Amino acid sequence: MSSSDSISLSTSSSSESTESERNPPEELAESDWSAKGGYGWAAADVRSQSSLFRWSRLLNSWLNCTPVVSKGVSGDIVSLERVSAIDRVCHGQEGATEKFFYMYMCHFSQLHVRLSLDDFIMGVLRVLNVAPTQLHPNSWAYLQAFRILCQSLYLEPTPYAFLYFYDTRPRRPATWLSLISRPSISRLDAFSQSFKHFKDGYFKVVVKDEGKAHFLNADGSTKFPFSWTSNPSRYKDIGMEELSAGDKEVVGMLLKFVDKLPTKGLVRVYNLVHPIIDIEGHMAQSGKKNLALFQTLRKEMAAKAKAAGKTNVPNLQESVVEVHVHGGTKRKAELPPRPGKGKDVKKVRAALLETGSVSGAGSASDEKGSESGLIELPEISVRKDISITLPDTILNSIDGIDVDHLVRTMVEFGSKALVLSQRLHWYIIALVFKCD
């Protein structure tokens, strides 16, 4: 992306904003472009929905707060770019010089999907004949929950083992495809998360030369549909006899669970530090039988994997995806009750671990290594009974704000808060070392 795509934080008041600030030049230049035709097979609401990420500054501000690429994968495999004023999520590759596909903001921020996509995810998209944005986010939640569940049991998640538990009923004209649980055999409960506003949060993922091996086959064809299709697969009542031996092992293992497993809880595991501990916690909430069975199966499958010499089995003792911490810092906190102060008061001990050297702070000792910048902050009492009440006039004015303008304002203030917090963080470190 060009230098004009970088984040710009303006300090001028809203009354001084210019026309180009309200409507960036990149969009003004596209205002006279004619809409693309030939997409009558897509539903009207799909064809009419534009993206919030028509502005580079808005996209970059969001990307500054949300990780998109997997741990250990180079960020050079893709270029994340804004969407033009006339582009719609169902549009294809017309006029594109590089192959691309769209992704939704919620894929990364709420469902913790990371690029590049693995063989399991790409396989499901290929079998269903849908692009990533064509599969409804609630169905992506099933994908993520199924994957973490299989990994925790040392199983290899496969597309057909996953789809054994679901049906699809594509509609005409084409709209977002949803997976429908098969009531008698479904092992993941209904995902109740609301994604009401996901439709306008799409942006472009352009495949770069370094990323072709991740997303393209040897002959240059894509490993999954990059663009929306007019004929998603109708998938219904697949039989056990149609599965491979590996698929049957996965299905048979999951069918042993009696109670349904918590989809939302399993998805949240991706954003936690100790996945296996949290998985067991969610298992306990869904039923003691599930927890006991899970622990037994996990022990058996771990021994089986070890005996087979498998070296790529995840132990899930570390976070599954990299969680963004602004400024390259990590925070640890303990929250033991404070004696004599009541249940609403906690004693918080926070440690700020700086992974790099601090300018002007002196050299770190060899023994401490990366923990040389460890700073223990003073104890702080935190009350849980604080409430904030806004007058109805303010609430009504917020409700009346245009959605695009509200989102841009929120991201702008969020960006400024992040920059301010980072500068304050360095200022505190400098003060501490100065005092020492």
Integer Cα distance of 213 and 77 in angstroms: 9
- Between the alpha carbon of residue 347 and those of residues 5, 332, 379, the distances in Å are 44, 13, 6
In tens, the pLDDT along 212-256 reads 999 999 999 999 999 999 999 998 888 899 999 999 999 999 999
Max Cα–Cα distance, the chain, nearest Å? 72
Q: What per-residue confidence (pLDDT) applies to 1?
A: 44
Long-range contacts of 320-323 (CB under 8 A, 24+ apart): 320/112, 320/148, 320/151, 320/269, 320/270, 320/275, 321/67, 321/70, 321/71, 321/112, 321/114, 321/270, 321/271, 322/67, 322/70, 322/71, 322/114, 323/67, 323/271
**Which tokens sit at 294?**
């899970």
The proportion of the chain whose per-residue pLDDT surpasses 70, expressed as a percent, equals 63
**Residue of 274, 324, 414 whose CA lies nearest to 114:** 324
d(CA 166, CA 238): 9
pLDDT at 389: 65
Question: Using CA atoms, how far apart are residues 119 and 321, in angstroms rounded to an integer?
Answer: 17
The amino acid sitting at 383 is: R
Residue ranges for the chain with pLDDT beneath 50: 1-21, 325-384
Across 82-223, the runs of DSSP E, i.e. the strands, are: 100-104, 166-168, 179-181, 202-207
pLDDT at position 244: 95
**What's the CA gap between 308 and 302, in Å, rounded?**
10
CB 269 within 8 A of CB 243: no
Q: Would you tell me the crossing angle of helices 119-128 and 137-152 to the nearest 10 degrees?
A: 140
pLDDT the model gives residue 321 = 76
Give the span between the Cα atoms of 24 and 73, in whole angstroms: 33
Using alpha carbons, select from 187, 148, 154 the residue that is nearest to residue 298.
154
How far, in Å, CA of 73 to CA of 240, rounded?
36
Q: Kindly state the tokens that stand for 344.
A: 């609403």
Q: What is the pLDDT of residue 397?
A: 63
Torsion of CA 91, 97, 98, 100, to 10 degrees: -10
pTM: 0.70
Helix (H) or strand (E) holding 78: strand 78-81
Instruction: Tell me how far apart the terminal alpha carbons of the chain are, to the nearest angstrom.
Output: 44
Amino acid at 217: N
The pLDDT score that the predictor gives to residue 259 is 82
In 271-368, beta strands by DSSP E: 329-334, 345-354
CB-based contacts of 15, cutoff 8 Å, min separation 6: none
Return all residues near 128 (Cβ < 8 A) that are at least 6 apart: 135, 163, 168, 177, 232, 233, 235
Q: What is the token pair recorded at 146?
A: 């199924």
- The answer to whether residues 54 and 89 touch, using CB atoms and an 8 Å cutoff, is no
pLDDT in tens, 34-52: 678 889 999 999 999 999 9
